[in-house]
A and B are shown apart, each in its own frame.
Chain A
Amino acid sequence: MAEAVVHSELQWTSPQVLSKRPGSGEPVWLKNLRSEASDCFAEMGFPTRNHEEWKYTSVSPIAQTPFRPAWQQSASRPVQSAELDALKKLSGICLVFVNGQYNEALSSVQGLPAGVRAGSLASLFTTSDEIIAERFAKYADYRQHAFVALNTAQWQDGAYVWLPKGAVVKEPIHLLFISNAGDTPLVAHPRTLILAERESQASIIESYWGAGQGISFSNAVSEIVAGDNAVIDHTKLQLENDRSFHIATLQVYQERSSNFKSCSVTLGGALVRNEAHAVLDAEGAECVLNGLYLGREKQLVDNHTIIDHAQPHCPSRQHYNGILDGQSTGIFNGRIIVRPDAQKTDAIQKNRNLLLSDKAQVDSKPQLEIYANDVRCTHGATVGQIDAEALFYLRSRGISLKDARNMLVYAFAGEILERITSQKIRVLVDRVLHARLDAASRS
């Protein structure tokens, strides 16, 4: 298998990569889907910076790295760390994927109410399960988006969660994706499908954590469908190592009066792109997308959001804060589309950025596309540095420069953290953030 090292664009889609994958007992429709998506990717190729949506992010480091599919990595070494334990403590319901493959030993589904189903997507498709299968890959558009196409063609495993009508899951459902690369760069394409039937409620945590020091590339796609009156609270944590690449697409489809809330926290990765697309396709759907991104050294963090108001009477909110240090780059591209019929839309989008060093940079592109008249849409973007007066105020009260700075940076991050619903997650992110700030001020 060692020969199957992929490096050029052609080899990303070579039949070898597809045919040699294990668990080939797949249904025909899935095979067809894979080959169609593979063709789409071959046609589109990797986006370049000439592509308006990729104006500020070059993916050539990804295209040029000779990745090996993660599933080719022989049985992973046992993973252990205090950080992982902390992550695992977030919830009793935890599905763990190591290098893109479901790891039953590390997972547990304790406390999952009867009727609610959650597990490995790959094993689901070996049994014929129509409720879930017929909605797979129906939302994230692989015809338009190269990385979604790549994922659809090559995904190996991932999680599914199915919430039946009226089900309420009290404890968060944690989907933990661990990348554990050694000397060989590895690529995994985690795939998640969450179906919340009407009136169901759950909170989902998607976390990406890097175990090894090697280079890994996670190209994740998550599809979430919120049925009528369903309430979904989603948190995404990106804690991979500083050499890893991470491109994730979150595709949300909302039905009548559903409520979707997401908070994405990005702390790790060399090149991270988070895309969140929400389609509000029925009256009364509510959508909140929040995000916090911290960049240091040469990190590049790119957040793209699209909220598509397709129907009237839908409110949406977006709050993204970025803290950029070192030579890092923070990018925010938020788009609010209001379709011709979507009257009474109420959309607010805010992007704030804090620059901590002279070499850090920010590119922000908030966009409004409005085709209806009876709407209220606003967006705002700011870029600035730590307020000298606030710093002086704290120092005049005997607080050291280092502490004062940390306090102010922390407060800036707090604007987003306080919007995370689950206290457990808040505490975890809080701790990671503090460790990060301390490390930064020591160096």
Chain B
Amino acid sequence: MTTSAEHIELLANQEYKYGFTTDIEQESVPPGLNEDVIRLISAKKNEPEWLTEWRLAAYRYWLKMEVPEWANVQYPPVDFQKIIYYSAPKMKEGPTSLEDVDPILLETYAKLGIPLREQAMLAGVAVDAVFDSISVATTFKDKLAAVGIIFGSFSEAVQEHPELVRKYLGSVVPTTDNFYAALNAAVFTDGSFCYVPKGVRCPMELSTYFRINAKSTGQFERTLIIADEGSFVSYLEGCTAPMRDENQLHAAVVELIAHDNAQIKYSTIQNWYPGDKEGKGGIYNFVTKRGRCAGVNSKISWTQVETGSAITWKYPICILQGENSIGEFYSVALTNNYQQADTGTKMIHIGKNSRSTIVSKGISAGHGKNTYRGMVKIMPSAQGARNYSQCDSLLIGDQCSAHTFPYLEVKNSTAQMEHEATTSKIGEDQIFYCQQRGLSSEDAVSMIVNGFCKQVIRELPMEFAVEAQKLLGISLEGSVG
């Protein structure tokens, strides 16, 4: 877990170490978006009629929508006709086992540090690897199936469990929810699907690794996780993309549903390519994530470490519908160079005695712009609701900015809520103290930042926590002194 100076230096010289491209034969549709492209995507995935119609309805609605502009970020308008909406590595008739997967792909994931060969894995983490528009492999499927857990790519789930997909798809994030959610509903290509049956505690961490590879493509994946009564699942998500001068769009939708007494823990390490030092290139990460605590005593917990992307625009939401349901949001968002992040959460309290906790840590360095935007809404029905929010911002350098925009709406007198926010820079005395004990100023900053984020990092599963700490160190490289 140490982030020794040489280690950082080594990594820093590589800058963004996931910036390579994989040279593989790709099959893509021409850029542009119209009903034919959607039908084509749908046909390629051999989707049932209702899903095609669902996509088209979303598309027709999307056409009427306007690009939202309320977020505190600036970027040139995205040309939706220049994006390639489907791109996949060429494969033989759907890989049935890892042996069928193109070795180049396996190599790519090995390079990214994501082991797809089960025997090669140290810890028990089941991975669904998504490469551009399709899922290339899912590990440990059998072991999971033994306890009744369905875990795999979304396309597979559509084929094998259409009744579950149909029941839950769009039930948390309707197609009409927002501009990017509607776009995603129209063109989503793949993603992960997970169903944990009643009373099952998922024996391992589930994870999806998203990789953008092809040029000018957009990635539109959709994740749907359902935790049935009394179940538990911990899910991780990681992402990287090659270094390019162009901006690529990533607009995902994540839906979580927790039934009675169920618990979902969703962790993200977002490390899309952030653009270069001048702010050129990078991924636009416009994501809609929402969880519904549908049952009593259900719990959804979002943990995110956002270090990548040129622009991040993301608000994981918890709808606390069930009595005694719990929503949690732990976030670290770091913006360096010209990165911009407008992120936060919404906690909507509907059920009695629902509780929520928000801990958000924003770090701005270089010309970075970091905004926390969150809403806590307590509906009249939420007797005894409780919320605690804490948003801290750390400023490194005099060109960056940090903003906090919380919205508190309380319609029930028994609610208790607290919101607190602070903004400050790293104290010179703190750095001095570290330096006096022989640490370089960079190490000192990295250490202080890690301490600042500890509350969030400790919520992450072990493997991710280590990676997150390193990532923070690397992302801050060059911002001190």
Contacts and interface: CB of A to CB of B under 8 A. Distances in A.
A375 B425 contact: yes
Interface stretch (A133-141, A181-189, A204-212, A355-363): A355-363
Contacts of A343: 398
Given A370-B393, A370-B423, A363 B407 contact: yes
Contacts of B378: 383
8 contacts: A52-B70, A340-B398, A370-B402, A375-B424, A377-B422, A377-B424, A379-B404, A382-B419
Nearest to A354: B413
A49 interface: no
A375 B397 CA distance: 12
Given A358-B412, A362-B408, A367-B403, A384 B425 contact: no
B402 A384 contact: no
Size bracket of the A interface: 20 to 34
A431 interface: no
Contacts of A370: 393, 395, 401-403, 423
Given A373-B398, A374-B395, A378-B423, 10 more contacts: A355-B410, A363-B410, A366-B404, A366-B419, A368-B402, A368-B404, A370-B393, A377-B424, A379-B420, A380-B419
Q: Classify the interface of chain A: helix, strand, loop or mixed.
A: strand
A353 interface: yes
Interface of A: 52, 340, 343, 353, 355-358, 360-385
Contacts of A356: 413
Contact of A376 (B380, B413, B424): B424
Interface string B404-416: 1111111111111
Given A374-B398, A380-B420, A365 B406 contact: yes
Nearest to A332: B408
A357 B413 contact: yes
Interface string B137-177: 00000000000000000000000000000000000000000
**3 nearest A-B residue pairs (beta carbon):** A355-B413, A373-B395, A364-B408
Contacts of B404: 366-368, 379
A365 B405 contact: yes
B384 to A, nearest CB: 10
A361 B421 contact: no
B396 interface: yes
Contact of A385 (B399, B409, B414): B414
A371 B421 CA distance: 16
Contacts of A366: 404, 406, 419, 421
A380 B421 contact: yes
Contacts of A340: 398-399
A365 B421 CA distance: 12
Nearest to A365: B407
Contacts of B409: 361-363
Could you say which of B405, B406, B408, B418 has the most chain A C-beta atoms within 10 Å of its C-beta? B408
Q: Classify the interface of chain B: helix, strand, loop or mixed.
A: strand
A362 B380 CA distance: 12
B414 A353 contact: no
B396 A373 contact: yes
A370 to B, nearest CB: 5
B417 interface: yes
A155 B393 CA distance: 43
Contacts of A363: 407-410
B425 A373 contact: yes
B418 A380 contact: yes
A367 B421 CA distance: 9
B338 to A, nearest CB: 15
B341 interface: no
Interface string B463-481: 0000000000000000000
Interface string B51-87: 0000000000000000000100000000000000000
A349 to B, nearest CB: 9
Contacts of B422: 376-378
A363 B410 CA distance: 6
Contacts of B406: 364-367, 381
Contacts of A379: 404, 419-421
B423 A375 contact: yes
A382 B413 contact: no
B395 A375 contact: yes
B250 to A, nearest CB: 27
Contacts of A365: 405-408
A360 B413 contact: yes
Nearest to A356: B413
A67 B295 CA distance: 52
Given A355-B410, A363-B408, A384 B419 contact: no
Given A371-B401, A373-B397, A384 B408 contact: no
A368 B403 contact: yes
B116 interface: no
Contacts of A381: 406, 408, 417-419
A357 B403 CA distance: 33
Nearest to A366: B406
B190 to A, nearest CB: 37
Interface string B369-396: 0000000001010000000000001011
Contacts of A375: 395, 423-425
A377 B422 CA distance: 6
B400 interface: yes
B178 to A, nearest CB: 16
Contacts of A367: 403-406
Nearest to A372: B398
B301 to A, nearest CB: 23
A121 B406 CA distance: 40
A381 B413 CA distance: 15
B408 A373 contact: no
Contacts of B395: 370, 372-375
Nearest to B398: A373
A386 B7 CA distance: 54
Contacts of B420: 378-380
Contact of B410 (A362, A369, A372): A362
Contacts of B417: 381-384
A368 B380 CA distance: 28
A220 B67 CA distance: 37
B415 A383 contact: yes
Nearest to A55: B407
Nearest to A52: B70
Nearest to B413: A355
Nearest to B365: A373
A353 B410 contact: yes
A362 B410 CA distance: 5
A384 B416 CA distance: 5
A370 B399 CA distance: 10
